[in-house]
Homo-oligomer: A and B are copies of this chain.
Amino acid sequence: MTTTELINQIRKKKSFLCIGLDVDLNKIPQHLLKEEDPIFAFNKAIIDATHHLCVAYKPNTAFYEAYGLKGWKALEKTIKYLNEKYPEIFTIADAKRGDIGNTSTMYAQAFFEDLAFDSVTVAPYMGKDSVEPFLAFKNKHTILLALTSNAGAFDFQTKTVEGKELYKQVLDTSKTWENAENLMYVVGATKAEYLAEIRNIIPDSFLLVPGVGAQGGNLQDVCKYGMSENVGLLINSSRGIIYASSGEDFAAAAASKAEALQKEMAVELG
């Protein structure tokens, strides 16, 4: 998917909501456990109920890998369902991968070709030759971890490296990489006040923003400091939406939570 197609979808739906499909069998409605593939059954119901309210879905691969083969199979079915039934939706494999060059190419093939996601999250620690193999894929997007929403972000990301914080070094340096136009960045909503400075470095790039809701971030602050001319924001909510109810009404409850966020976003889009 091109960035323009993503922007058009945002304008049309008046939403920049991304829904995190982090499926934990201990948390989904228990009546789904008798399904042949409870993970996919849960995802399918959530997607069918919310696809008109959001522009992106983001399965975190950890939740699928934790269930071994059946988890990987559920991930395959989920992305296939999205690509076939809702091709306008932007898909994110939240995998936080990264390895030396030829190995990163294998990961890129896994997520961009085999699974056919539009984007994948990547960790920056190993530098340029660990990220460029992802950037080489046309109309695919590499979402680089910059400033994450967890407490551990302060261990290294905010430490000063040669005059500026490490996450700013990551932003600055990554702009010089080949096909840098395919980069987006993860910036946690819990650190909204950092967004103004981030926008000075990367005025137009899309930011994937976790941490609104469950982790305490505020939508209005994120928009105030982080919105660009072409919106430039994908705000993710996972637990707050998908686990809104543990009863048989779980999909309707998820849609209701998603709609509340979408309405807030419509106001921000003006």
Interface residues of A (CB under 8 A from B): 22, 24, 60, 62-63, 65-69, 72-73, 76, 94, 96-101, 103-104, 106-107, 109-110, 114-115, 123-131, 145, 148-157, 159-162, 166, 169-170, 173
Contacts and interface: CB of A to CB of B under 8 A. Distances in A.
Nearest to A145: B125
Contacts of A106: 24, 60, 62-63, 65-66
Contacts of A123: 96, 98, 123, 125-126
B114 A129 contact: no
A99 B153 contact: no
18 contacts: A24-B106, A60-B99, A60-B103, A62-B97, A65-B106, A65-B110, A68-B114, A68-B115, A94-B99, A96-B99, A98-B123, A100-B150, A100-B152, A124-B155, A125-B125, A126-B148, A128-B151, A160-B161
A73 B69 contact: yes
Contacts of A149: 100
Given A69-B76, A101-B150, A123-B123, A166 B162 contact: no
A211 to B, nearest CB: 9
Nearest to A110: B65
Contacts of A69: 69, 72-73, 76
A173 B155 CA distance: 8
Nearest to A150: B100
A130 B72 CA distance: 22
A122 B114 CA distance: 24
Given A69-B72, A109-B66, A169 B159 contact: yes
Closest 10 CB pairs of A and B: A127-B152, A127-B155, A62-B106, A65-B110, A66-B106, A100-B150, A129-B152, A128-B152, A66-B110, A68-B114
Contact of A103 (B22, B73, B153, B155): B22
Contacts of A130: 150, 152
Contacts of A115: 68
B156 A124 contact: yes
Nearest to A149: B100
A176 to B, nearest CB: 10
A156 B152 contact: no
A115 to B, nearest CB: 7
Contact of A145 (B126, B150, B173): B126
